[in-house]
Amino acid sequence: MPKALLTVHEVVSVTGTTARTLHYYDRIGLLKPAVVQENGYRLYDRNNLERLQIILFLKETGVRLQDIAALLELPESERHRSLREHRELLMDKKRRLERTLDNFDRYLEAGTIFGPRPPDMPGPALREQYDREAELVYGDTPAYSGYRERMQKLERESPRDREAWLNRAERRMNAAFAGLFSLHRKKPDSRAVRLKVAEWADALGAYMDTTPELLIHIADNYRGDRRFRAFFDTFGGEAGQFASFLHAAIVQYALSLKNAKTAE
């Protein structure tokens, strides 16, 4: 004759849950046993087992216990409608998790948040944070005034065109850095390096009016700011090596501009 009721131990062996969980579900009214014997032993029937398996499944999908209790009291059609809404929440979580994993992979790949493909950051994006920092530090300088004029003109463009322009300018800068890294074992004042620095300065000119003094100041930042050093380390070489090379190469280039201007 088939066994009609199961003990707590037997339910645990079937479902993989724990006796403590069964006792807790009984206490909060989520899963009442079919029978409670005089000695306090709980016994469960097949309906209890089915309800428990649904509870465990919904709990695993992130539905709260109090919501599970309400769901199980709904007619089947209403329950499915509520669960479809919960599925949309799960899809949002999935998309957020995928973005988080992508950001984390970018960080692991580069070893820094300041690489060419920076992860998305909480709060303002790094590009926006740099703009805010630049305004605080350089807001009263002619170079920053020129930069702001260009950015204000750009802000009048459509979001799509503005983002495309910024991405092109960023790719051009990164290409200049990659070219300079390929020469980082040469002397900073060599002709090949000087031509590549000129390409970098021309790319920088898309953002602001460049002067020898400004180029030297930027070179000092490249070497002295840990964020810039971390970014340049992603190109290769020993830690800080490329940043130091860039500093020397840009200073040599800036001085050559100053000397040429003096000689005119």
- The verdict on 130 and 259 lying in the same domain is yes
- Residues 6 or more apart from 54 whose CB is under 8 A from it? 72
Q: The tokens of 162 are what? A: 């503005």
- The verdict on 180 and 248 lying in the same domain is yes
- The verdict on 155 and 247 lying in the same domain is yes
- Average pLDDT over the chain, rounded to an integer: 84
- The verdict on 163 and 53 lying in the same domain is no
pLDDT of residue 133: 62
The whole-angstrom separation of Cα 117 and Cα 88 is 30
> 237, 181 in Cβ contact below 8 A?
yes
pLDDT of residue 120: 62
* Residue ranges making up the domain that contains 139: 126-263
Q: List pLDDT tens digits, range 10-29.
A: 999 999 999 999 999 999 99
> 209, 146 in Cβ contact below 8 A?
yes
Phi and psi, residue 36, nearest 5°: -120, 115
pLDDT of residue 226: 82
- The verdict on 151 and 219 lying in the same domain is yes
The tens-digit pLDDT sequence of the chain (264 residues) is: 567 888 999 999 999 999 999 999 999 999 999 999 989 899 999 999 999 999 999 999 889 999 999 998 888 888 888 888 888 988 988 888 888 788 777 767 666 655 556 656 554 455 566 567 667 766 677 777 877 888 888 888 898 888 888 888 888 988 999 999 999 999 999 999 999 999 999 988 888 888 888 889 888 988 888 888 888 888 888 988 999 999 999 999 999 988 877 766
Please check whether residue 121 lies inside any domain of the structure: no
- The verdict on 250 and 139 lying in the same domain is yes
The whole-angstrom separation of Cα 84 and Cα 236 is 49
pLDDT of residue 115: 58
Q: How many domains are there within the chain? A: 2
Please check whether residue 200 lies inside any domain of the structure: yes
pTM listed for this prediction = 0.54
> 6, 43 in Cβ contact below 8 A?
yes
> 139, 147 in Cβ contact below 8 A?
no
Please check whether residue 211 lies inside any domain of the structure: yes
- The verdict on 240 and 138 lying in the same domain is yes
H or E stretch covering 36 = strand 35-36
pLDDT of residue 128: 64
Please check whether residue 257 lies inside any domain of the structure: yes
Q: For the domain that residue 20 is a member of, what is the CATH number?
A: 1.10.1660.10
pLDDT of residue 134: 63
- The verdict on 151 and 36 lying in the same domain is no
Among candidate residues 58, 53, 78, 57, the one with its CA nearest the CA of residue 68: 58
pLDDT of residue 143: 72
- The verdict on 145 and 60 lying in the same domain is no
- The verdict on 45 and 166 lying in the same domain is no
Please check whether residue 197 lies inside any domain of the structure: yes
String of DSSP letters for 208-241: S---HHHHHHHHHHHHH-HHHHHHHHTTSSSTTH
Please check whether residue 179 lies inside any domain of the structure: yes
The whole-angstrom separation of Cα 20 and Cα 114 is 49
- The verdict on 32 and 133 lying in the same domain is no
Q: List pLDDT tens digits, range 90-122.
A: 898 888 888 878 877 776 766 665 555 665 655
- The verdict on 133 and 64 lying in the same domain is no
- Residue 190 three-state SS: coil
Please check whether residue 256 lies inside any domain of the structure: yes
pLDDT of residue 43: 94
DSSP structural state of residue 146: H
Please check whether residue 110 lies inside any domain of the structure: no
